[in-house]
Homo-oligomer: A and B are copies of this chain.
Amino acid sequence: MSKFWSPAIRSLVPYTPGEQPKVLNLIKLNTNENPYPPAPAVTNAIREFDTSRLRLYPDPDASILKQGLAEYHKIDKSQVFVGNGSDEVLALAFMAFFRHGKPLSMPETTYSFYEVYCDLLNIEARKIPLNANFEINLDDYTSENTGIIFANPNAPTGIAIGLDEIETLLKRNTETLVLVDEAYVDFGARSAISLINQYPNLLVSHTFSKSRSLAGMRVGCAFGHPELIAGLERVKNSFNSYPLDMLAIATATESLKDETYFQATCQRIKSTRDHASSALVDLGFNVLPSAANFIFASHPKYDAKELMQYLRDKNILVRHFTRAGIDQFLRITIGTDVEMSELINALKARID
């Protein structure tokens, strides 16, 4: 603690990202990374990049990427925002839309960064419990609010909700923004982007980190009514004019062009997920139905933290959260078939 710290930051509890170990030969199933490399076009974009251009500033609007996203999702460029990973996009959205002096409604169990943004920006978080099946029930989101945010599929449960439920919420909650964080949508949920033309109160965020294997490049985006995008641009341009570097813009733009690779990779992960889920069920695990690139599983007879430590000793990393209500679960990222087999075999040896 330093006297130079602004009072508001003294009590901050920053977000804790999953471990990024420096040792090699680990099976890393702890941060929901894609086990497959980005599309080959990404490598070409990097290999062929004219590095003498790096002396210049990038396009602050990242127009080529916005245009690519607009075409991909069949919307207008004015409905697209891009930023330095979806974390930055979310942070800017919290600044732009969630400071109306009322609580922000969010699931009690969800991406834990939402709470951190609230803390940073002095927004009260109203946490609404999941139901007994660990599902978000949007009928519970009826209180006056400064906005509503949830992830779909939700994290770390992996459970998705349907567009009909989201549409019902949008029709009811017309005075404040509903932000649907679709970081994992490509692994099995339906995107609410199809609703943005009808609902000016809807913002949808995506990331290139998961389904497009570009976590290393830090690119996220959001979709909504042009007035929402304009609000995000105001905050972004009051904070950092050029959050996306030239190579981030180039690689993300290229990754959108190889739909065959993209679909094949997502399909492979979904297929591995379904096999791994069955294998875990066979071992006695309770596995929540996942529409994401991870599974959330608990075992009635084995303590989750101990299992996590046991796997760690076998060089297999999975994530464990100490929060009450989910502290008997492991969040296991879907790796390759080989990696998942090693995980299952390690667990078999333990669980008998």
Contacts and interface: CB of A to CB of B under 8 A. Distances in A.
Q: Which of A36, A42, A243 has the most CB of B within 10 A?
A: A243
A207 B55 CA distance: 12
B4 A97 contact: yes
A4 B216 contact: no
A43 B175 CA distance: 51
A238 B52 contact: no
A1 B59 CA distance: 25
A12 interface: yes
Interface residues of A, number: 88
Main secondary structure of the interface of A (DSSP, over half): loop
A162 interface: no
Contacts of A20: 56-60
A195 interface: no
Contacts of A247: 46, 216-217, 245, 247-248
Contacts of A3: 175
Interface of A: 1-9, 12, 14-15, 17-18, 20, 22, 28, 31, 33-38, 42-43, 46-47, 49, 51-60, 84-85, 87-88, 91, 95-100, 116-117, 119-120, 175-177, 200-201, 209, 213-218, 225, 227-228, 230-231, 233-248, 251
